[in-house]
Amino acid sequence: MPKSWVRQRKRDSYYKKAKATGYRSRAAYKLIQINEKFGIIHQGDFVVDLGAAPGSWSQVAVELVGKEGRVIAVDRKRMQPIDGVTVIRGDLTHPDIFESIHEETKDGVDVVISDMAPRLGGNKHLDHARSISLAETALDFSIETVRRGGNFLAKAFRGDLFPAYMEMVSSRFDFCKPHSPKASTSSSREVFVVAKGFRG
Ligand SMILES: C[S@@+](CC[C@H](N)C(=O)[O-])C[C@H]1O[C@@H](n2cnc3c(N)ncnc32)[C@H](O)[C@@H]1O
């Protein structure tokens, strides 16, 4: 990481807040802000968190669902355990991992959230295309697992493939909107697709 990036991050208020509150990453505040605005996760929900490491979204999700709810976290990277969260390690672009998660989710889940991001290679177009491909993987997973009426959230990078992705999500959910929470840095091209009311 460049030193200037590390210095800038340490000055960042969400980074400081995350450190102080015990969230594993400043990304926690993106999910908190999205949920405050759109109400995608509720008490008692069964949530699957895709691309979950280091785990701050899962920490937030487990607080939101409470004791009656359930959270499964999936990532290709190793992730430290979180109380109340089932961690599954694997690459979501690999069909085997889909099968092992389906064992856990075969009765349906209420919400799928995905903060999956590709390893950035510096080529904007390629990074964008890879992020859309991961967002499509998340959508495919949600189509197979989310119950009717359930909700979906996925991260993507803005670019020319984004409108077609929005259409794909819109065709499956009653409500679909792109959103950038305040906690996303202003220089970031990331955008979150918020979708509610899965139609099947
Ligand atoms: C921005 S981080 C997620 C941060 C997380 N939401 C949090 O709050 O701690 C993106 C994650 O996506 C994961 N990821 C990217 N591609 C993946 C794939 N094909 N399968 C599983 N995880 C993937 C990466 O390993 C990385 O941990």
Query: Does a structural domain hold residue 128?
Result: yes
Give residue 79's pLDDT. 97
The CB-based long-range contact list for 58-62 (8 Å cut-off, 24+ gap) reads 58/82, 58/85, 59/22, 59/23, 59/24, 59/28, 60/23, 60/28, 60/31, 60/32, 60/35, 61/31, 61/85, 61/113
Range of the domain at 186: 27-198
Give residue 4's pLDDT. 63
Query: Does a structural domain hold residue 9?
Result: no
Backbone φ and ψ of 182, nearest 5°: -55, -35
Give residue 52's pLDDT. 98
Helix and strand counts by DSSP (H, E) for the chain: 7, 7
List 155, 177, 182, 196, catalytic entry: 155
Q: Measuring from atom 27 of ligand 1, which residue has the nearest CA?
A: 53
For residue range 152-165, what is the model confidence (pLDDT) as tens digits?
999 999 999 999 99
Query: Does a structural domain hold residue 11?
Result: no
- Cα gap 56→126, rounded to integer Å: 27
User: Looking at the 3D structure of the chain, how many domains does it have?
Assistant: 1
Which mutation among 17, 76, 88 tests ligand 1's pocket best, with the greatest number of atoms within 8 A of CB? 76
CATH classification at residue 123: 3.40.50.150
Query: Does a structural domain hold residue 5?
Result: no
HSE toward the beta carbon, residue 152, CA cutoff 13 A: 34
Give residue 149's pLDDT. 98
Please list the ranges in the chain whose pLDDT falls under 70. 1-11
AA identity, residue 33: Q
For residue range 164-198, what is the model confidence (pLDDT) as tens digits?
999 999 999 999 999 999 999 877 789 999 999 99
Give residue 103's pLDDT. 85
Mark whether 10 is an active-site residue: no
Query: Does a structural domain hold residue 2?
Result: no
Query: Does a structural domain hold residue 12?
Result: no
Query: Does a structural domain hold residue 3?
Result: no
Query: Does a structural domain hold residue 49?
Result: yes
